[in-house]
Structures are given as C-alpha cells and as structure tokens.
Chains A and B, each alone.
Chain A
Amino acid sequence: MTEDLVSIFIMGKRHVVPSGLTIMSAMEHAGYRLIRGAGCRGGFCGACATVYRVPGDYRLQIGLACQTVIQPEMHLAQIPFYPGHRADYSLDDLQPTFEAVVTTYPELLRCLSCGTCTKACPQDIDVKQYMAEAMRGDIAAVADRSFDCIMCGLCVSRCPAEEVQSNIAILCRRLYGKYLAPGAEHLAKRVLEIEEGMFDDDLASMKSLGEEELRRMYDERDIEPE
C-alpha cells in the first residue's frame, strides 16, 4: 500500500490518514474505537452504513464503511442505526398473498416509485423494482430480487414515503421460503426415515468401531463423482 496521505472529514472534523484505506480502517486510524457501525467487517451485516460527499459534487453518496475506499477530502458520517418499523407478525398466521403483505405493511401502497432507494442500495439491488413487485403481489419476484439484501437500512433512511423496504422484503422471502417454494420430497422422506429409526443400527455399529477400523473405512470410502 502506498504511504500517500490524504485528508478526510469524519463528521466534519479533518483527519489525515494513509490513502487506500477503507472508511472503517480510516476511522480507526484516526483514533476512533468503533462500537457502533462495525459488525462483520466484510460486507455481510449492514452495520456500517455510511453517507458521504466528495468535493465538487453536491450529491450525497452512500456506502458500507468496511467496503468503501476513502477519497481525498471526502466528508462522511455513519448511520449505524435507523429506527425503521417492523410490523408485529408471526409467519404461521400469514398466507403468501398480496393481502397478507399489504395488511402487515399498509404503507407499502404509499411508494411513489421515485427510485431513491435503488440509488441508495450498496448491494446494487433494484429496490424500487421489488417494491413495485410487492405492490403487484408478486412475492416470488420480491424474494428473488431482494435476496442479497443485508438490511443496512440505507434505502429506509432515504425514502420519502417512509417505507421500510428491507422489512417488506424479508417478509416476502420468508413467505416464499415457507409456502411458495416447491417442497423437497427427498428431504421429507429422509426425515421420516430418521424418525422411524432407520439409521440407528448403522450409526450404532459405526460408533462401536475402533479408530483403526474406522480409519480404514474412511480411507476406502467411495466418493461421489462431480
């Protein structure tokens, strides 16, 4: 990594840090010990939502602090928490229908299709589009399109209609997974077999083997081809 230094502004305050760092390591280099705003440090948990602006551009940009490299003279602040609304529901009581989704989240229908959420998403998900699909009651489409959502809340923070897109999305994914995805017959069959004790003898006899015998079986076991 180069030793070049750049200045950045963390919540308005100037710090000089080595170039090439992520926003997260730049903050740490500047002396912050993060408590909020850091979770997985690998782009999976959505804890590190960050808003920033670079010189010469009036527009706010967004990114994950653990995944975004700093730019010279960048102004930034983290949004580690956003008080979005989660409806009170239990999946068992719902049906996989448009009615269920819209009764759970009536605000869904207030979406203006403005597309601000899509611009905000660090996962490059077309959030506006899955909201449109939700409004059409196409639960399977929402489930598929929103799949990579890390629930960072950035779309929520920017929405003029005060939608909680990520919560609508997880509701649809769960409805899809539980009710709409085709069932796996081989799995249901295996569960029955286990409950009937079909493998108990096999397992018991394997457990009773000494290490040497087990090792021989292991070394000689056949491997399913690719």
Chain B
Amino acid sequence: MTGLITPVRGLLGARARTYREHLDTVGPLPAVGAEQLVQLVAAAGLTGRGGAGFPSARKLAAVGSRRSPVVVANGAEGEPASSKDRALLIHTPHLVLDGLVLAARAVGCRTAYVYAPESVLDSSIRPALTQRRDRLTITPVPSADTFISGQETAVVAAVQGLRPVPTSTPPPIYVKGVKGRATLVHNVETLAQVALIARYGATWFRERGTDDDPGTRLLTLSGAVARPNVYEVAGGTTLGEAISAAGGALEPIQAVLVGGYHGGWVPWTAHAAQCPLTRTGLSAYEAHPGAGILVALPARRCGLKAAAGLATYLAGQNAGQCGPCRNGLPALAGHLQDLVQRRSPAHNHEEILRLVGTVDGRGACHHPTGTTRMIRTALRTFRNEVELHVAGACTELQGSRKGA
C-alpha cells in the first residue's frame, strides 16, 4: 500500500494517462464494501452530472437491491455545446473506470460497459483497460453521434446492440434494462466523483460547494467568453462567477443559454449573474444547470435567430418514433424560422405558444419537454426581439446594439 496521499483538488487535479501515473496521483482504490460505498455517496450528497441531477446514492440503492444488475458509464454527451465528458475520458480515464468498478461493487454486478464516442474509446478507454486488472468485465460500446444517444433508455438499447433510440417507460431501467436486467446508467463525471469520494471521504467532498450543491462540477463554457473551455467549479457557483472563470465576456452579452439545448435562456442581468447554477437558484428563469453547459450570446445577435437555429437542430434530432415529437418539433421550428424571417410574425408567435403547450411532455423521452423549455424561455428572454419582429424589424438587420 502507498503511504499518505494528499487528496487532489478535484477532478481536473487528477489528470493521468497511465495507470501508474493515476495511482501516484490519487492513490490506490480503497477496499470499501458495497453498503459503505452507498453510505459514503449519500453522505457526500453527490447528484448525477449527466443532466437530471438525481441523487446518486438513491440510484445505486435502487439497482443494488435487484438480481444480476448491469452498470453503464455514460459518456455519450450528445449535447453539441458540451465537451466535459470527453475531456474527462481523455484526461482521467482511470478515474472514470475506478468509479465504474466501485459502482459495480456497490450494486453487486459483474457486467459493466463504457458507452462513449468511438474516437474516445479508441484513444483513451481501450488503452486504459489494457493497463489494469479489474475483476469485472468492462466492455466498450461506441455511442451514436446523435443528440438523444445519451438518454438512459437509448443507452440501454445501444448496449444491447439495438438502434440507440429511447424506449417507452415504465418500467424504469433500474427495474428492467439491458437484457431485462436491472441497469444503472451513471454519467462519467458522476463516476469519477465516486472514485474520489471513496478515496478521500464525504467530508472532503463537502469541503467545496454548498449544502444545496456539494462538491465540484464541470462546466463547458462557450460563445462570447474570453476563454471557452471546460472548467471545474465549486457547487453553488453563480452564473456571473462562471462567466468570469472563462475570462469574462468578450463583448457585451445579452443572455446565456444555461443547461444546453434542452436548457433555458437566461437574460444577462445583475440579478441573473448572482444566481447559483442550481435548480433552485435558476428556477426563476425556468432553467437548470443540466450537464453544466453555458453559452454566452452577444448583444448584437438576434436571440430569436439563435433559438430558431437550436430548434431546427433539435427537430432534426427527433427519433421519429412518437407522433407529437415527430410532427410537433418540426412545426415549432418552422414557425420560429418564419418569425425570424418576419413572414407573418404575430401569427407565428401565437402558433409557437399554442404548440409549445401541446407538445410539452408528450413523447417516450424528454426531447419534446426539453425543446419546448428552450423555446419558451427564448420567447420570454427575447421578448423585445419578438416585438421588433412583429413590427417588421430585427436587431441583426439594423445592426443596432441593445444595452447590456
């Protein structure tokens, strides 16, 4: 056994390409038992980092009580504006694999999978697997390059060799997942945190962050910020602090897309800048931190045009399975594009509001709900832009700048 190991600062402090380097950096994997591990994760207050933010210990416990379960590390990261999972898998593959081994131990499972883009499996995960000896079979499964490939039921389908599209629930995958077995799908960042918590403890984890949002989380910042990149911040970090972490705004900005394409547009105001990036902190804006995605929108851009672009992309990413999603999202995107073009703006605006109300929640997965949320928050945040369009104008065409 290695002697005293100084705990690393966080996920990004645990960079290591080889297994040797990894052990030197973070220390050996401790021999924690299943029950102890679930208790540790519960005491740490770790929540899922894939977007839904569900308490991780509850997921472990739900699957752990069932026979011959399956565990999957989910690194599909279908969100175009996110790159933290890729960064983590490339720079700290062994930390993620340790987390997978621990989660498997916690639920008593012998079959595990790493689901991630082929390029990441090839350059990082497969080489890492050859360097370690785990008593667990870990199989890499390439993820599809689609927005919804990381939805849990789509992950289950992909692992079984089926088309990676969501399936209808209930039953939930923790009851019936891969080949009918109880299945635990954890985001790769969540697993990496489990690997650190098992080593350094729940108290160490809570040294950073707040009671409401303990520990650290990864953010992907892009758009009009000085240094777009992946950052690790303490839980409870405000929107303003996050933008500052990326070097601040490059030019006047008017809004930030928080939580990715299924997230919410938050107006860049003094009030919003002080909101913690948590579910409660962002509730006034109907936004949520999701997988830690922030995109800053310049003031000179038309917010409606940006939202219409996202809606068109999301409409094209529907899996074609569910009527309201397959028909509703393209219709919504079409009305948004027409509104941007000022074809018959007042009518388009009304139709968008009506369709948002009918499509919401009606599909096998969250794609319709996430898409309508993004559109609803866009109409609210860019209501001045809506009025401009109804009056036949547009910020971008006029080249006029709005005040920040």
A and B together in one complex: no
Q: Which residues of A contact B (CB under 8 A)?
A: none
Q: Which residues of B contact A (CB under 8 A)?
A: none
